[in-house]
Amino acid sequence: MNDKLLVLGTMAYDAIESPFGKTGKILGGCATYIGLAASQFKIQCGLVSVIGDDFKTAHTNLLSSKGLDLSGVVTIPGEKTFFWSGKYHNDLNTRTTIDTQLNVLTKFDPKVPEKFKDASIVLLGNLDPNIQAAVLDQMSAPKLVVMDTMNFWIESYREKLDEMIRRVDVLSINDEEARQLTETHSLVEAAQKLQALGPQYIIIKKGEHGALLFHEKRIFCAPALPLEEVFDPTGAGDSFIGGFAGYLSQRGSIAFEDMKTAVIMGSAMASFTVQKFGTECLESLSFEQLKKRILAFKSLSDFEIELI
Ligand code: AMP
C-alpha cells in the first residue's frame, strides 16, 4: 500500500454558537478539519474541494503550510464559499443547524488530480452523495474507501446515499444518524443492518461517549477523553475520521488491529478540536501533544484483572 490519501469534502465558513460563546464567520468545512488532522502523519494528502472567490488566501496558505496538496481545490469566480451555521445545546452532544448555504457546491464538478488517482485510501467526507460518487468513479483501485455523511444528506438524498453506502468499505456516522438511517434504536443492531448493505466496517461516533468500530462479529469500543473544557464540538467527527484515515495511510495496513489504533488516533484528534472554537486547536497541534494524549487514552481504559 502506498501513503497517499485523497480527501473529498467542503472547505467552508461556519458561524457557531455554543453555550460558551458565539463566533462570526470562521474557517470550517469537513475537508478542512480532515486535512488538518491527517497532516499530523507522514503521508501525501490531497484535498478535492470547491471554494468561492471570498475564500481567504490566508486560509489556503494555512492548509498548504501543513503540506496538504490543494491542486484538487477549484475556485468558482463570482460565487460564495459553502456556509454553515449551527447552535449547540447545553449537553454539547446535540446541535441544531441554523443555516446551510450550498453556494459553490451547486456548481461543483470534482476533478481528482492525476497524481492522486492511485491513492490507496479515499476519504469521501460529508457531502452530496452524487459528488462522492463522481470522485470515487475517478479513482483507479483504492484499497480502502471511507465515507462520512450527516443528516442533511440522509434526509434529502436518501436513494443516492444508499447506492454510495454499498460502494464503500468503512462507513462513519454518529449515533443519531445510524438510528435515523436504519430506523433502529440499538446501535449494535443498527451496525449489523448497515454492514448488511455493504461496508465491512462501521464506525459509530457517540460524541462525548466515544466511538464504536464494528467488523464482522467484532466490536471495538474507544473512550472519549473526559475533558474539563469543551468549547465547540464542530469538526469533531471530521477530525476523528481525518486522524483515522491519516494514521492508516501512514501505517500502510488495514488490519483490524491497525483500525483499532486508528480509532484511538481519531478520538485523540477529536479531543483537541473540541477544546477551542473552530480549527484553532488543530492549527497549532504538535505531534508531541498528540503522542501524550494517546498515552492518556491508553491509561484511561487500561486495567488488570485476575479472575478466580
Ligand atoms: P462535524 O461537526 O464533524 O459534523 O462537521 C462540521 C463541519 O461540517 C462544519 O465545519 C461545516 O462547514 C461542515 N458541514 C455542515 N453541514 C454540511 C453539509 N450539509 N455538507 C457538507 N459539510 C457540511
Alpha carbon of 145 to those of 148, 166, 171, 223: distances in Å?
10, 11, 9, 24
Q: Is residue 174 part of a domain?
A: yes
Question: Lowest mean pLDDT: which of 71-80, 90-99, 168-177, 280-289?
Answer: 90-99
Distance 149 CA to ligand 1 centre (A): 9
Residue nearest to atom 6 of ligand 1 (CA): 235
126 C-beta closer than 6 A to ligand 1:
yes
238 C-beta closer than 6 A to ligand 1:
yes
The C-alpha cell at 7 is: 480527501
The C-alpha cell at 62 is: 494555512
Q: Is residue 157 part of a domain?
A: yes
Average pLDDT for 146-159: 93
Residue 1 pLDDT exceeds 80: no
Q: Is residue 308 part of a domain?
A: no
Total tally of structural domains belonging to the chain: 1
Q: Which residues span the domain enclosing 50?
A: 5-300
Place of cell 434529502: 156
Q: Shortest CA distance to 222 belongs to which of 273, 155, 162, 293?
A: 293
Residue 93 pLDDT exceeds 90: no
Ligand 1 atom index nearest CA of 33: 10
Q: Is residue 197 part of a domain?
A: yes
Please, what is the average pLDDT of the chain? 95
pLDDT digits (tens, 9 = 90+) for 184-229: 999 999 999 999 999 999 999 998 889 999 999 999 999 988 888 8
274 C-beta closer than 6 A to ligand 1:
no
Q: Is residue 168 part of a domain?
A: yes
Q: Is residue 305 part of a domain?
A: no
> Which domain CATH number covers 169?
3.40.1190.20
Distance 129 CA to ligand 1 centre (A): 14
For residue 3, the model assigns a pLDDT of 87
pLDDT grade, residue 15 (50/70/90)? very high
What is the value of pTM for the model shown? 0.96
Distance 41 CA to ligand 1 centre (A): 23
pLDDT digits (tens, 9 = 90+) for 222-266: 998 888 888 899 999 999 999 999 999 999 999 999 999 999 999
pLDDT grade, residue 2 (50/70/90)? low
Q: Is residue 145 part of a domain?
A: yes
For residue 208, the model assigns a pLDDT of 85
For residue 227, the model assigns a pLDDT of 87
For residue 90, the model assigns a pLDDT of 87
Distance 30 CA to ligand 1 centre (A): 5
Distance 303 CA to ligand 1 centre (A): 37
Q: Is residue 307 part of a domain?
A: no
Average pLDDT for 11-20: 95
**24-57 per-residue burial string, b: 16 or more CB within 10 A, e: under 16:** eebbbbbbbbbbbbbbbbebbbbbbbbbbeebee
- Asked whether the beta carbons of 249 and 4 are under 8 A apart, the reply is yes
